[in-house]
């Protein structure tokens, strides 16, 4: 039987729409519009969609960084809007961490790598100073960076190395849910493949659930178990990754598949076949 860790039920998030002091109405943006899905524990759940389709907004709702307009989000069976008491909120924050898209702007340039990774541990009062240092060192091992880097600053690292620091920081608290907001889109393919491999190993070892936001369908095919496709705040299609690739149902999904630029003729034939099949039906 399935073990649901996160559930979105008719979730809406609207921005604007309220009248200002002078009676002008701000334009209403339905960033997330009646979206429902559930995520199984230990799976990689991919969110695909064009820019502005509401992907990051969903992630922010899941972290309780935005208030929900309508609908319910549950994490481990608890409606997260009911979590208001300070200590409970802190406990909740420990559960959901994020790796941001741009490794350069998401790491504080004035802090050493040690300080950056240690920060969430301090905020959540984890361990003694010595224990924290040990944890930071272990995390450097997990993300395959030398411990000698700990006194360095972010600008002294390459893009791929910075993203590893982002990963180390996100997994520092053993959070069961990690949001990956386009974790590799700023990276070269070879760097990307190493970061993805790292994320895959970490997931297998610690049974983490990933909420994986991306533009890259080929990456989804290699890395994710389930996928939802978003367009203008609406959920267009959802399913197992293999099923979506084999039998895309909606026009937008087909367009996305068609837009993948592949190198091998076999891959091209696979894409062409899907499209022709679907067009004929």
Partner 1 sequence: MDAKHLLEIKNLHIGFKNDEGVTPTIKDVNIHIDEGEIVTIVGESGSGKSVTVRSILKLIPSPPAIYTQGEILFKGQNILDMQENEIRALRGSEISMVFQDPMIALNPVFTIGQQMENIYLYQGASSTHARLSKKKSILKQEARDRSIYLLEKMSLPNPENLLKMYPFELSGGMKQRVIIAMALIKTPKLLLADEPGTSLDVTVQASINKELKRLVEEEHIAMFFITHNLGVAKQLGKRTYVMKLGEVVEEGLSEDVFLNPKTDYTKHLLDVLPKII
Ligand X SMILES: Nc1ncnc2c1ncn2[C@@H]1O[C@H](COP(=O)(O)OP(=O)(O)OP(=O)(O)O)[C@@H](O)[C@H]1O
Question: Contact residues for partner 1 (CB under 8 A)?
Answer: 50-51, 159, 188-193, 215-219, 221-223, 245, 252, 255-256, 258-267, 270-271
Minimal distance in Å, beta carbon 270 to partner 1?
5
By CB under 6 A, tell whether 214 contacts ligand X: no
Residue 115, binding choice from partner 1, Mg ion, ligand X, none, Cβ under 5 to 8 Å by partner class? none
Nearer to partner 1, 49 or 71 (CB): 49
89 contact, one of partner 1, ligand X, Mg ion, none, CB 5-8 Å limit per kind: none
Q: Using CB distances below 5 to 8 A depending on partner kind, what does residue 54 bind out of partner 1, Mg ion, ligand X, none?
A: ligand X
Residue 183 to residue 199: CA distance in whole angstroms: 10
Closest residue to Mg ion, Cβ-based? 56
DSSP 10-78: EEEEEE--SB-TTSPBPPPEEEEEEEEEEEETT-EEEEEE-TTSSHHHHHHHHTTSS--SEEEEEETTE
Among partner 1, Mg ion, ligand X, none, what does residue 154 contact (CB within 5–8 Å per kind)?
none
User: Cα dist. 28→16, 33, 201, 264 in Å?
Assistant: 5, 12, 42, 44
Residues 6 or more apart whose Cβ sits within 8 Å of residue 13: 30, 31, 32, 54, 57, 58, 61, 66, 68, 69
Closest distance of CB 22 from ligand X, Å: 19
Per rule CB under 5 A, count of chain residues that contact Mg ion:
1
- For the chain, the C-alpha Rg in angstroms (whole number) is 20
Residue 160 touches ligand X, criterion: CB under 6 A: no
Q: Per rule CB under 5 A, is residue 56 in the interface with Mg ion?
A: yes
**Interface positions with ligand X (CB under 6 A):** 15, 29, 31, 49, 51-57
């Amino acid at each position: 039987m399935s073990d649901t860790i996160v559930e979105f039920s008719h979730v809406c998030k609207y921005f604007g729409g309220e009248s200002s002091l002078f009676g002008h109405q701000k334009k209403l943006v339905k960033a997330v519009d009646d979206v429902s899905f559930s995520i199984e524990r230990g799976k990689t759940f991919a969110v695909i969609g064009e820019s502005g389709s509401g992907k990051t907004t969903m992630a922010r709702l899941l972290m309780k960084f935005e208030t929900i307009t309508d609908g319910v989000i549950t994490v481990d069976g608890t409606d997260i809007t009911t979590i208001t008491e300070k200590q409970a909120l802190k406990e909740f924050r420990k559960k959901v961490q994020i790796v941001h898209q741009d490794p350069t702007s998401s790491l504080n340039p004035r802090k050493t790598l040690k300080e950056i990774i240690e920060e969430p541990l301090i905020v959540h009062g984890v361990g003694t100073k010595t224990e924290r240092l040990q944890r930071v060192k272990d995390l450097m091992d997990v993300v395959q960076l030398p411990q000698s880097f700990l006194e360095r600053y972010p600008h002294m690292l390459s893009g791929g190395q910075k993203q590893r620091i982002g990963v180390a920081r996100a997994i520092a608290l053993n959070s069961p849910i990690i949001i990956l907001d386009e974790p590799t889109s700023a990276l070269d393919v070879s760097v990307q493949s190493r970061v993805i491999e790292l994320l895959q190993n970490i997931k297998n070892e610690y049974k983490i659930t990933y909420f994986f936001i991306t533009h890259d369908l080929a990456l989804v095919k290699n890395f994710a178990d389930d996928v939802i496709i978003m367009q203008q705040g609406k959920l267009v299609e959802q399913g197992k990754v293999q099923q979506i690739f084999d039998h895309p149902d909606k026009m937008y999904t087909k367009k996305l598949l068609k837009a993948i630029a592949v190198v091998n003729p076999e891959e091209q034939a696979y894409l062409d076949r899907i499209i022709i099949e679907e067009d004929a039906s």
